[in-house]
Amino acid sequence: MKIKYNSTKNSSSGQERLFDLVFRIFGYPNALRLAQWKSIGRMLDFSDDIIVLDMGCGAGHYSYLIGKTTLCIAADILDTKPISIRLSQSEERCPYVMANALSMPFKSDSIDRILMSSLLQMVSDDRKILDEAYRVLKDDGILVISVPLDYIFSSFSIEEKNHLIEEFHCHGKGFYSREEIHELISSSGFQIIESEFNPKKVLSFAYEIWLKICLQTSQKPFSLLTFPVLFPFALLDRICNLECEGNEIIISARKFKIRSGQSVP
């Protein structure tokens, strides 16, 4: 597959240079995503001879990590290459493609694995994105999704939830129930393989308290201060049982060759 990527270069700001330093030391400057990486990597089950698409890659942290092993296409609507992709220093192993997740510039049945980390809740048409993932994914290819669930330890008013949705620049649902996201994935032509709460109790509790503090103090939920505050809880979260409930869920699913409602020719 020939990939065209955006090679726009940016001058680094002081904040980006600090981000670079944190990334190199800790491996992931976001406590929630750091906690989820082990499970996401295991569910993707990638090797050095497959193509992984990081759909809605954001800052590209997972693309960077996957690109150490195999070709990982980082795709997002940003018109500049994400900072983690610039850090990778390998445009062959980790190319960046500027693309809308609703209409990806890839051939049908061309991708082995797709990762959607915290993407579905951000968009107004989550089913259409799943349709597009189904199109580009090979038969029996694997889709891994992480989405936020409703808060479980703290009580948030409707106004507070709406404010957080705005802070996260979210144009979609913002949250799912476990049953709702399972049904959405299953009805889009995928067979669920595994689902896991992640973060679990410790980090979920700390994250919800942090959000409450941010709401009370008008602090941005994700800032340079967020990582050092939540990082110790991300480490403690690793001792929790796999079945522990949390406020996000990671799901792996396999593409059906025949979608629901279709007949075998």
pLDDT at residue number 19: 59
pLDDT at 4: 42
Q: Find the radius of gyration of the CA atoms of the chain.
A: 18
- List of residues 6+ apart from 76 with CB closer than 8 A: 56, 57, 58, 60, 82, 96, 98, 99
Q: Which of 107, 116, 105, 112 is nearest to 185 (CA)?
A: 116
Q: Is 258 exposed, middle or buried (0-12, 13-18, 19+ CB in 10 A)?
A: exposed
3-state secondary structure of 225: coil
pLDDT confidence band for 258 (50 / 70 / 90): low
* One-letter-per-residue 3-state SS of 107-165: CCCCEEEEEEECCHHHCCCHHHHHHHHHHHEEEEEEEEEEEEECCCCCCCCHHHHHHHH
Q: What angle do CA 101, 106, 109 make, to 5 degrees?
A: 105
- Per residue, the 3-state secondary structure of 23-56, as one string, reads HHHHCCCCHHHHHHHHHHHHHHCCCCCCEEEEEC
- H/E segment holding residue 73: strand 71-76
| Mean pLDDT computed over 35-62 | 91
pTM: 0.85
Residue 153 reports pLDDT greater than 60: yes
Question: Rounded distance, CA 244 to CA 201, Å?
Answer: 6
55, 101 contact by CB (below 8 A)? yes
Distance CA 23, CA 222 (A): 15
Spatial distance between the Cα atoms of 96 and 60, rounded to a whole number of angstroms: 9
How large is the greatest C-alpha to C-alpha distance in the chain, in angstroms?
60
In this predicted structure, the answer to whether residue 20 has a pLDDT above a threshold of 70 is: no
Flag whether pLDDT at 30 surpasses 70: yes
Q: Kindly report the number of other CB atoms within 10 A of residue 203's CB atom.
A: 29
How far is Cα 192 from Cα 143, in angstroms, rounded to an integer?
9
In terms of DSSP bridges, do strands 96-98 and 71-76 run parallel, antiparallel, or are they unpaired? parallel
Copy the structure tokens of residue 112.
């082995």
Q: What is the pLDDT of residue 1?
A: 45
- Topology (CATH) of 14-150+172-198+246-255: Rossmann fold (3.40.50)
Higher pLDDT, 239 or 111: 111
| Residue position matching structure tokens 């993932």 | 133
Does residue 81 contact residue 6 with C-beta atoms inside 8 Å? Answer: yes
Render pLDDT for 108-149 as a digit per residue (tens, 0 to 9).
999 999 999 999 999 989 999 999 999 999 999 999 999 999
What percentage of residues in the chain have a pLDDT greater than 90? 49
pLDDT at position 3: 44
The chain-wide mean pLDDT, for the chain, equals 84
Give tens-digit pLDDT for 184-217.
Answer: 999 999 999 999 999 999 999 999 999 999 999 9
Domain locations along the chain = 14-150+172-198+246-255
- The angle at the Cα of 82, spanning 79 to 84, to the nearest 5 degrees, equals 170
